[in-house]
């Protein structure tokens, strides 16, 4: 890390810390799969304990290594500076105007302003600063003096850019000229304590940018009195620069002690102080603990270790020093979130259950130790202990701790809400198949306000746990309604193209009996439990449509058509032409051409019934019927242009097995050679789809060096080389042409 | 017939390699990777460049990573150049895969332009780049974006591009594609997921390598070869990996007063909470050393040697550091450089 450059220009720029966090992440020891970093698994979606309940300053949650732990206070630095200046300048100087002057106005404009306020002949106030013209003479004089500070600060900015991250950063800047430091020192001797401190601080910064660290430390000693006040904010900034100089002169232990102090006391600097805090070796850490004379100073050091590096180890150490430290409940909450989400392990995959369990068990041990030692915010420790009990399925323990928390904070809505959420987790983890459990779960979950920050994660976690319990108990309909996808698993999804995922032995959604169970279950809505189970469940009409499709795909076309005729069954437009077929498929072309086709699911089913009757007539008429049915089934499969029809249902399918059967029948029934040639080629297309689906790695068939050859049906087609359709295929289908050429 | 010829050549090379006196002069260029963030070579490192007639130093210029706050790719961990090495340098940009998972296709041309501008700017002291290397473990999901980026880089940089090629990208070439660059650098290290207590070596494992290289001779790009010479320490807690301690020299562990050796020769256990190179070790943690030896490096070279198509190539050792040079005496390093043509 090029730390000598990186620390520049942090003043008054809290947003920078976010980027610094990223830089820090880049500097961490790489895992072997460094490229696989993933920002998506945010902690909010994987935890059920609301950390905002700790009521800490958001900046304290800042943690560059764990997404979801908040960010730095982005406007603290600017607000602190403006607060100081407003106190000094008085209410007649508008804050937005001074904000403009202090942070945005170019140097030339600042100079012009000074001249105008000082009454220099021919100099006028720029229009946007006209309000300053209304100030009294004394006020104008004060603003003019303040402008001197702003001008010097603006001159220093050229040396305070951060050159080594972000695009377009300039090369490392040269050192500030000695005249700037002299100007600052001169200002630090002025009679006004406020301006003295500002100038002295600018002198410190200018010296810092020379990278002569010993001079920085010497300067801070020489101007210690001026730098100490009146602004506390500026005093902390001073300490931050001094810590930086100490770090660079090898006084790591002292620097870490100073950074821990800054982190604890200055919200504006907390993020950057945490970033720079870096115990390195055993020796320097022992020295730091030695410099920190009092227990509270030592706690500060461990606090930052806990926030940045290792919460568990820090809690163990802080308990020895001060069990009533407010840091302990905070760390406990943070570690609970990490433990529940598995992010403490820092890996790309969730850690094994046994490790997670061991981690949570250690937290439980800490929480219970704390409860015996009069901790700060005992209600919060009780809540954490209750939640930990909930996660391990200790319902009695959870009730006890959660009850204690609510009793200690009876009027606190957040505590009550979290207690209910934790109780829901406990009930689901300790689940027993009984109406008592069902009722308590339903009423507890109904009381969770959707605004609860972890409502989504809680609902997902609870419903999944219950779905698994109902599945294990053989109540498959309930399991599926509690967590859609539960009974068949999420790994295998039919109808999304060839996949390497293994299909489960039984696909319940392809079983009419299971779909009928679902249809029956969604019509039972008597109890709170029923309402809970059916929350956001698939409607009866959609389920009947699923069943109708199932019948059709199982070859029971008449049964499917009959069910589509039921007014309760969901029916809708197909948005495509299910009977269109080409030598070479073009899904996008067909979707565009037939987007407004008038087919509905019901009318397609009726047509298929008619075609089935037509097949029975035999001969070319029957062959045409079979061909059309084959086309419909082919198009409904993943390979066809009507696959969108079944998207969003559970009946989508990949392999055009039914289509091949109908094409084969068409081939057998056809009397004319043209019709036979067509049937043979259509059968070849269906066979090709089945071959791709059966090929290992078929999901990548777009990249296949060689497309499989459906040789059975290509051979049949080759016998019809006197037909027009054969010639058409030969012209358009490269795969066939290559095969014919040998 | 062709396969037989390849095997005969392979046997000849293997036979020759067993005797240093009979070793043929290698025509491969010699290079090192330099992966630290401050380019300031030690005297030992400078001497190694001279002694081994090193032609080139591949220097990590910066990383590109996704900044979720700003929703853009950002430069991270840029190189600070203190000394200019005595040999020509090639800047390397390491690209985290999250960049191409998030980067809108329309912004790829601008990303390429900014990346090139930044390379030029940040490596100004090293002179105008004459080659650029891109290092990213792309997959079939990110390949379209990555390859589009490489295409744009080619357009804006106007210098030859090379790209790192990992073993899975050799084996699954049809899925992952072949990057549109002038050369590839076959990375013969980082064998996969690292797990505590796993006997499979993570830096280089011959058995794993064999599974991936059967089609190496078919690879359509001229390939340089990157070989490992580094070691690291695996930090584990309760049987689970905590971290890779890349800056921890395995040789320093015995001297620490807060670790003790276990019955396993490569393993130490931590006896009290203590910081080591910025990592807080807890009592009971284990430190497992994984060393790459000269024999490992030669084995890696011998595995791929028969499968490489004849071309002018570079052997690039990862990475140049005092520690690695100390463990790889001059003669052995020279033998490694001679092991591939």
pLDDT digits (tens, 9 = 90+) for B146-176: 999 999 999 999 999 999 999 888 888 877 8
Maximum Cα interatomic distance, chain B, rounded to a whole number of Å: 63
Confidence at residue B218, expressed as pLDDT on a 0 to 100 scale? 83
Confidence at residue A702, expressed as pLDDT on a 0 to 100 scale? 46
User: At residue B195, does pLDDT exceed 60?
Assistant: no
Half-sphere exposure at residue A101, Cβ-oriented, CA atoms within 13 angstroms: 32
Percent of residues, chain A, with pLDDT higher than 90: 65
Find the angle CA(A644)-CA(A645)-CA(A646) to the nearest 5 degrees.
Answer: 90
What global pTM score does this model have? 0.73
pLDDT band at A232 (very low <50, low <70, confident <90, very high): very high
pLDDT digits (tens, 9 = 90+) for A73-102: 778 889 999 999 999 999 999 999 999 999
**Residue appearing with tokens 């073993």:** B167
pLDDT digits (tens, 9 = 90+) for A171-183: 555 677 788 999 9
DSSP one-letter string for A228-290: H-S-HHHHHHHHHHHHHHHHHTT-HHHHHHHHHHHHHH-HHHHHHHHHH----SHHHHHHHHH
CB of B40 within 8 Å of a chain A CB? The answer is no
B interface mutation test: which of A4, A19, A32 has the most B CBs within 10 A?
A32
Mean pLDDT of B118-122: 91
CB A691 within 8 A of CB A656: no
pLDDT digits (tens, 9 = 90+) for B234-252: 898 877 778 788 778 778 8
* Contact residues for A35 (Cβ-Cβ < 8 A; gap 6+): B95, B96, B97, B98, B136, B137, B138
User: At residue A287, does pLDDT exceed 90?
Assistant: yes
- B87–chain A nearest CA distance, Å: 23
User: At residue A328, does pLDDT exceed 90?
Assistant: yes
Mean pLDDT score of chain A: 86
CB A694 within 8 A of CB A535: no
User: At residue A453, does pLDDT exceed 80?
Assistant: yes
C-alpha to C-alpha distance for B222 and B304, rounded to whole angstroms = 14
pLDDT band at A532 (very low <50, low <70, confident <90, very high): very high
More reliable by pLDDT, B10 or A519 = A519
CB of A138 within 8 Å of a chain B CB? The answer is no
The CA-based dihedral angle spanning residues A666, A667, A671, A677, taken in that order and rounded to the nearest 10 degrees: 120
Confidence at residue A691, expressed as pLDDT on a 0 to 100 scale? 87
Confidence at residue A338, expressed as pLDDT on a 0 to 100 scale? 84
A451 exposure class (CB count in 10 Å sphere: 0-12, 13-18, 19+): exposed
Instruction: Write the residue in A1, A19, A38 that is nearest to B37 by C-beta.
Output: A1
CB of B171 within 8 Å of a chain A CB? The answer is no
Confidence at residue A63, expressed as pLDDT on a 0 to 100 scale? 58
- B278–chain A nearest CA distance, Å: 4
- B16–chain A nearest CA distance, Å: 34
The CA-based dihedral angle spanning residues A591, A592, A598, A602, taken in that order and rounded to the nearest 10 degrees: 10
Q: Quick check: bond before A590 cis, omega within 30? A: no
pLDDT digits (tens, 9 = 90+) for A429-452: 999 999 999 999 999 999 999 888
Q: Could you give the 3-state DSSP secondary structure of residue B163?
A: strand
C-alpha to C-alpha distance for B67 and A243, rounded to whole angstroms = 28
User: At residue A20, does pLDDT exceed 90?
Assistant: no
A interface mutation test: which of B123, B143, B205, B273 has the most A CBs within 10 A?
B273
Chain A CB contacts of B77 below 8 Å:
1, 23, 26-27, 165
Mean pLDDT of A45-63: 74
CB of A279 within 8 Å of a chain B CB? The answer is yes
Confidence at residue A708, expressed as pLDDT on a 0 to 100 scale? 81
Mode of pairing for the β-strands spanning B267-270 and B314-318: unpaired
Confidence at residue B231, expressed as pLDDT on a 0 to 100 scale? 86
Give the residues across from B224 on adjacent strands. Answer: B185
Confidence at residue A70, expressed as pLDDT on a 0 to 100 scale? 59
Q: Which has the closest alpha carbon to B57: B78, B82, B80, B31?
A: B31
**Residue appearing with tokens 């390949």:** B143
Tell me what ipTM this predicted complex has: 0.70
Mean pLDDT of A698-715: 68
Confidence at residue A291, expressed as pLDDT on a 0 to 100 scale? 97
pLDDT digits (tens, 9 = 90+) for A406-424: 999 999 999 999 999 999 9
**Residue appearing with tokens 């909010």:** A44
Q: Which has the closest alpha carbon to A523: A539, A500, A507?
A: A539
CB of B252 within 8 Å of a chain A CB? The answer is no
pLDDT digits (tens, 9 = 90+) for A624-664: 999 999 999 999 998 898 888 898 899 988 889 999 999 99
A interface mutation test: which of B240, B246, B282, B287 has the most A CBs within 10 A?
B240
Rg of chain B over all Cα atoms, to the nearest angstrom: 21
- Low-confidence winner among A162-171, A183-192, A548-557, B24-33 (lowest mean pLDDT): A162-171
CB of B25 within 8 Å of a chain A CB? The answer is no
- Low-confidence winner among A114-123, A228-237, A655-664, B152-161 (lowest mean pLDDT): A114-123
CB A395 within 8 A of CB A430: yes
User: At residue A716, does pLDDT exceed 60?
Assistant: yes
Q: Which has the closest alpha carbon to A416: A444, A437, A457, A396?
A: A444
User: At residue A490, does pLDDT exceed 90?
Assistant: no
Confidence at residue A167, expressed as pLDDT on a 0 to 100 scale? 43
Residues of A (22-81) whose Cβ lies below 8 Å from B: 22-23, 25-27, 29-39, 67, 71
Chain A CB contacts of B121 below 8 Å:
169, 171
CB of B38 within 8 Å of a chain A CB? The answer is yes
Contact A355 B238 (CB under 8 A): yes
Q: How many helices (H) and strands (E) does chain B have?
A: 11, 18
Q: How many residues does chain A have?
A: 742
Confidence at residue A51, expressed as pLDDT on a 0 to 100 scale? 85
pLDDT digits (tens, 9 = 90+) for A333-350: 989 988 888 766 555 456
C-alpha to C-alpha distance for A49 and A336, rounded to whole angstroms = 8
Contact B244 A282 (CB under 8 A): no
């Amino acid at each position: 890390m090029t730390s000598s450059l990186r620390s520049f220009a942090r003043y008054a720029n809290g947003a920078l810390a976010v980027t610094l966090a990223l830089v820090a992440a880049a500097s961490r020891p790489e895992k072997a799969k460094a490229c696989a970093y993933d920002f998506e698994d945010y902690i909010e979606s994987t935890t059920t304990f609301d950390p905002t309940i700790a009521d800490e300053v958001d900046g304290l949650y800042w943690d560059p290594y764990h997404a979801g732990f908040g960010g730095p206070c982005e406007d603290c630095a600017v607000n602190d500076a403006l607060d100081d200046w407003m106190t000094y300048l008085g209410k007649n100087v508008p804050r937005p105007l001074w904000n403009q002057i202090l942070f945005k106005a170019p140097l030339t404009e600042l100079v012009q302003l000074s001249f105008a306020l000082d009454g220099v002949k021919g100099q006028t106030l720029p229009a946007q600063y006209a309000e300053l013209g209304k100030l009294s003479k004394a006020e104008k004089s004060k603003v003019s003096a303040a402008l001197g500070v702003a001008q010097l600060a603006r001159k220093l900015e050229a040396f305070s850019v951060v050159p080594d991250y972000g695009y377009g950063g300039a090369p490392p800047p040269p050192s500030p000229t000695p005249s700037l430091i002299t100007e600052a020192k001169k200002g630090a001797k002025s009679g006004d304590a406020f301006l003295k401190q500002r100038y002295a601080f600018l002198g410190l910064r200018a010296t810092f940018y020379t990278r002569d660290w010993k001079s920085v430390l010497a300067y801070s000693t020489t101007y210690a009195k001026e730098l100490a006040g009146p602004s506390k904010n500026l005093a902390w900034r001073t300490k931050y620069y001094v810590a930086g100089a100490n770090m660079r002169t090898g006084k790591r232990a002292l620097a870490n002690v100073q950074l821990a102090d800054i982190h604890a006391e200055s919200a504006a600097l907390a993020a950057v102080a945490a970033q720079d805090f870096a115990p390195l070796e055993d020796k320097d850490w022992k020295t730091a603990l030695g410099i920190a004379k009092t227990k509270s100073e030592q706690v500060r050091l461990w606090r930052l270790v806990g926030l940045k590096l290792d919460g568990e180890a820090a809690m163990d150490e802080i308990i020895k020093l001060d069990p009533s430290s407010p840091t302990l409940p905070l760390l406990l909450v943070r570690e609970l979130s990490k433990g529940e989400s598995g992010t403490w392990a820092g890996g790309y995959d969730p850690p094994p259950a046994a490790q997670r369990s061991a981690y949570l068990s250690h937290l439980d041990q800490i929480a219970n130790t704390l409860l015996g030692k009069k901790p700060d915010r005992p209600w919060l420790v009780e809540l954490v202990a209750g939640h930990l009990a909930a996660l391990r399925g200790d319902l009695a323990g959870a009730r006890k701790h959660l009850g204690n928390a609510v009793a200690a904070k009876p009027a606190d809505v957040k505590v009550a809400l979290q207690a209910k959420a934790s109780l829901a987790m406990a009930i689901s983890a300790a689940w027993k198949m009984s109406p008592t459990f069902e009722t308590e779960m339903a009423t507890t979950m109904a009381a969770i306000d959707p605004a609860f920050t972890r409502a989504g994660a809680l609902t997902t976690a609870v419903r999944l746990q219950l779905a698994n319990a109902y599945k294990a108990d053989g109540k498959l309909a309930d399991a599926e309604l509690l967590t859609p996808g539960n009974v068949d698993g999420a790994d295998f999804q039919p109808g999304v193209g060839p996949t390497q995922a293994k299909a489960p032995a039984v696909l319940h959604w392809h079983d009419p009996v299971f779909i009928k169970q679902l249809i029956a279950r969604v019509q039972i809505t008597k109890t709170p439990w029923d309402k809970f189970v059916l929350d956001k469940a698939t409607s009866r009409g959609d389920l009947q449509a699923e069943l109708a499709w199932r019948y059709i795909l199982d070859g029971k076309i008449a049964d499917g058509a009959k069910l589509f005729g039921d007014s309760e069954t969901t029916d809708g437009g197909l948005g495509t032409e299910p009977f269109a077929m080409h030598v070479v498929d073009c899904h996008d072309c067909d979707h565009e051409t037939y987007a407004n086709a008038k087919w509905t699911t019901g009318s397609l089913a009726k047509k298929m019934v008619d075609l089935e009757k037509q097949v029975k007539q035999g001969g070319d008429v029957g062959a045409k019927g079979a061909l059309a049915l084959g086309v419909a089934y082919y198009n409904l499969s993943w390979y066809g242009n009507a696959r969108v029809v079944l998207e969003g249902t559970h009946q989508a399918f990949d392999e055009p097995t039914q289509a091949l059967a109908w094409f084969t029948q068409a081939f057998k029934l056809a009397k004319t050679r043209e019709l036979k040639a067509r049937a043979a080629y259509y059968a070849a297309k269906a066979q090709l789809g089945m071959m791709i689906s059966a090929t290992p790695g078929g999901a990548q068939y777009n990249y296949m060096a060689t497309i499989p050859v459906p040789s059975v049906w290509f051979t049949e087609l080759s016998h019809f080389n006197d037909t027009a359709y054969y010639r058409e295929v030969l012209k358009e289908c490269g795969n066939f042409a290559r095969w014919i050429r040998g | 017939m062709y396969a037989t010829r390849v095997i005969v050549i392979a046997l000849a090379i293997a036979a020759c390699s067993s005797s240093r006196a009979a070793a043929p002069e290698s025509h491969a260029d010699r290079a090192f990777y330099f992966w630290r963030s401050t380019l300031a070579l030690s005297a030992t490192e400078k001497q190694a460049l001279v002694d081994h007639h090193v032609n080139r130093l591949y220097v990590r210029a910066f990383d590109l990573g996704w900044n979720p706050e700003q929703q853009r790719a950002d430069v991270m961990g840029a190189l600070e150049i203190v000394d200019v090495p005595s040999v020509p340098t090639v800047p390397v940009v390491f690209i985290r895969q999250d960049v191409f998972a998030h980067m809108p296709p329309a912004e790829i041309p601008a990303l390429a332009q900014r990346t090139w501008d930044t390379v030029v700017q940040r490596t100004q002291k090293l002179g105008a780049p004459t080659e650029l290397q891109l290092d990213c473990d792309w997959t079939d999901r990110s390949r379209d974006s990555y390859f589009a980026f490489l295409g744009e880089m080619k357009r804006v940089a106007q210098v030859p591009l090379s790209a790192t090629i990992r073993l899975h990208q050799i084996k699954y070439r049809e899925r992952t594609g072949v990057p549109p660059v002038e050369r590839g650098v076959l990375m013969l290290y980082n064998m996969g997921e690292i797990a505590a207590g796993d006997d499979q070596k993570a830096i280089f494992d011959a058995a794993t390598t064999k599974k991936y290289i059967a089609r190496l001779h078919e690879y359509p790009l001229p390939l340089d070869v990157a070989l490992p010479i580094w070691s690291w320490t695996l930090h584990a807690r309760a049987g689970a990996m905590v971290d890779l301690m890349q800056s921890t020299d395995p040789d320093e562990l015995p001297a620490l007063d807060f670790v003790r050796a276990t019955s396993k020769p490569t393993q130490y256990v931590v006896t009290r909470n203590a910081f080591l190179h910025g990592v807080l070790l807890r009592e009971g943690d284990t430190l497992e050393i994984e060393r790459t030896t000269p024999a490992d490096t030669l084995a890696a070279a011998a595995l791929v040697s028969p499968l490489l198509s004849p071309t002018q190539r570079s052997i690039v050792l990862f990475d140049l550091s005092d520690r690695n040079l100390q463990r790889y005496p001059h003669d052995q390093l020279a033998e490694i450089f001679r092991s591939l043509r």
